[in-house]
Structure 1
Amino acid sequence: MIGVLIFPDFQLLDAAGPISVFEIAARFAGAAPAIRTLAATPGPVRSTSGVEMLARGFKPSNAITTTLIVAGGEGVRTAAICPKTLAFVRALARRGVRVASVCSGAYVLAEAGLLDGRRATTHWQRTRHFVSAYPKVKLEADRIYTRDGNVWTSAGISAGIDLALAMVVEDYGDEIAQRTAKQLVLYHRRSGGQSQFSSLLELKSPTGRFGPLLAWAREHLDAPLTVEDMAEQAGMSSRHFTRAFIAETGTTPSKAVERLRIEVARQRVQSSSEAIERVAETTGFRDPERMRRAFIRAFGQPPQSLRRAARAG
């Protein structure tokens, strides 16, 4: 039996996404879906969208035998300080039940003490607060999902589907997981180590008139890439280029370049054994300390930590 823990003002897809994955996978495996939605107060539970789910109470807790998924959402701060909820989560973890969170549901697991000393992730927007609130957690800010023993965590919303599919691989095998992903019309199953975001996709109009310029910049990160350099490449005056670039992308040219440098540097740090100093030099940071500060701003941890986490995963 799989339990999905919800609370007032939960994010609907955080619950509905994994539920759909487990339901479809069970049918493909020839088993009857066995899933319950649970809440501290049983009855209709209203999501942030206004749509309600009917939830059972926490007892009997032994009805949940395999997995507990904790949803996220605007109401998570209240759920994370609910003694009844925390006691329930801890009790299942002690019994060896696989416990997981989607998005900000990681706050519930952290408050329950289940993430202390463990690798975990959450939605990228909550990284800074999460790191300061739970310093004992080894936060891997850029990952789609993580697994550390019997405790799983995932990034925002749709990443809960990726986490659930990874669990299906463990429970039923890769073939069932692939069929489930296909049934959900997903292009592919994303690995947990995949980045939560793309620097280009963060921009308002990554494929607009400055798309070719950004692609060029990404291939020349070892160059200074000043505003003057980019304006010349775009065939515009520096002043006009800066105004037009901000209007179209929503950020300054220098910040866009730093995002590109961070993304490429992260990929190389995580996927190779290349010296950190060399990565900093060839991606335009020049100084490893400058790159370290940029990584902490973006991911909440330095390059060496991301490399160790990638190797451990």
Structure 2
Amino acid sequence: MRPRNVTVLAYDGVRLMDVTAPLEVFGTAARMGGAYTLKLCSPTGAPVTTSAGTRLLVDAAATEIDGTHTLVVPGSVDFPQHAPPLPLLDAVTALAATSERIASVCTGAFLLARAGLLDGRRAVTHWRHAATLARRHPGVTVEPDAIFVRDGTVYTSAGVTAGIDLALALVESDEGADLAREVARDLVVFLRRPGGQSQFSVPSRARAAADDPLRPVLDAIATDPAADHSLPVLARLGGFSPRHLTRLFHERVGSTPAVYVEAVRIEAAQSLLAAGATVTAAATHSGLGSDESLRRAFLRRLGVTPSTYRSRFRSTTQPADATSTTPRRVSAPDPRPPE
């Protein structure tokens, strides 16, 4: 098979892991038999200094690259505050013109948007900068917290480690699930978080202050997702009428109580499946009920079936009672997600 040329664009101020993580995925795939060749380029062909202070040597200038299959555009901490320099934009435009598909990592989406490559497309970036991207580029439909998004031949991903998820997804698309799984195993990472999975947990997004009237309701849902969280029960718990509770959820959470409860239950089911629970046990102990209800919810929210999710995420060391353990709490104490 003719090798697929993967070109990663580096530049001064680029985030080091945005560059190295996709290179490691594609490089590992190549060592395992995948049809990939790798090149690291910069706008002028000169070495670059990353945001970590590390100097990177490159293979070529952007103008010397021809016939790229996959172009990877990493991010920089500067892009949400400052416009990228024109030589860098010119390099992106030139490389994109000869690439079969284009992928950005983290704030690399700002570069693609500034070059006009995201106009009329869906895209994602680091959760911290999603609103800025949407405001600065109204022609782009920004997904607020997906792991990665594909729109045609253009792929965008969230912060840092999401570049690994995206690269694994591209390897799986090119070479099949077996090779992608071997790469993930070699790198000791999951294969793979579905692109539509949230960048951070549902309860952490809806954290309420101690004096917030919704705090008891949100805590009850997060503490025991499988309990009865019907609208009348939640309303009584919070001391509201059902109508007032629904209004508060719309104002403070951005969804109805039922939609929020389902999201927390899906996250609880994910946790159970990752720990080795059966699909039936995950459905029961997350509060989603039946296998079919769990399947429909996963397909709607994550785009994969529970069985597929379990095979990709199951822990290699499963607790003995993994099939019957009810998660004590879904949310992490840290209100901000890791990158």
Task: Verify: 1:5 aligned to 2:13, yes or no.
Answer: no
Whether contact under 8 Å (1:3, 1:35) holds in the other structure is yes
Task: Verify: 1:36 aligned to 2:39, yes or no.
Answer: yes
Report % sequence identity.
38
Q: Residue 215 of structure 1 aligns with which residue?
A: 223
* Structure 1 stretches of at least 4 aligned residues deviating more than 4 Å after TM superposition: 77-80, 210-213, 223-226, 228-231, 259-268, 307-310
Alignment of 1:36-185 (within 5 A): 36-55=39-58, 56-62=60-66, 64-76=67-79, 81-185=84-188
What is the CA–CA distance in structure 1 between the aligned matches of 2:204 and 2:77, rounded to whole Å? Answer: 25
**Residue by residue, what CA displacement relative to the aligned partner does 1:127-154 show, whole Å, maximum 9, x if unpaired?**
1111111111111122111111111100
Paired amino acid for 1:46: T
* Alignment size in residue pairs: 242
Whether contact under 8 Å (1:79, 1:85) holds in the other structure is no
RMSD over aligned Cα, in angstroms? 3.6
Q: 2:26 aligns with which of 15, 22, 28?
A: 22
How far the C-alpha of 1:175 sits from its partner, in A, is 1.1
Secondary structure at 1:66 match in 2: strand
**Richer in helix (by share):** 1
**Residue by residue, what CA displacement relative to the aligned partner does 1:177-229 show, whole Å, maximum 9, x if unpaired?**
111111111133111111111034567xxxxxx98773237853735858x94
**Residue by residue, what CA displacement relative to the aligned partner does 1:27-75 show, whole Å, maximum 9, x if unpaired?**
11165x522222224333222222222233212131x521111111213
Q: 2:202 aligns with which of 199, 204, 207?
A: 199
What is the CA–CA distance in structure 1 between the aligned matches of 2:301 and 2:119, rounded to whole Å? Answer: 18
Structure 1 unaligned regions, length at least 5: 204-209, 232-253, 269-306
TM-score by length of 2: 0.61
Whether contact under 8 Å (2:6, 2:38) holds in the other structure is yes
Q: Residues 215 and 71 from structure 1, CA distance in 2 versus in 1: closer, same or farther, beyond 3 angstroms?
A: same
What is the CA–CA distance in structure 2 between the aligned matches of 1:258 and 1:78, rounded to whole Å? Answer: 28
Paired amino acid for 2:231: D
How far the C-alpha of 1:83 sits from its partner, in A, is 2.4
What is the CA–CA distance in structure 1 between the aligned matches of 2:91 and 2:82, rounded to whole Å? Answer: 12
Q: Residue 286 of structure 2 aligns with which residue?
A: none
TM-score by length of 1: 0.66
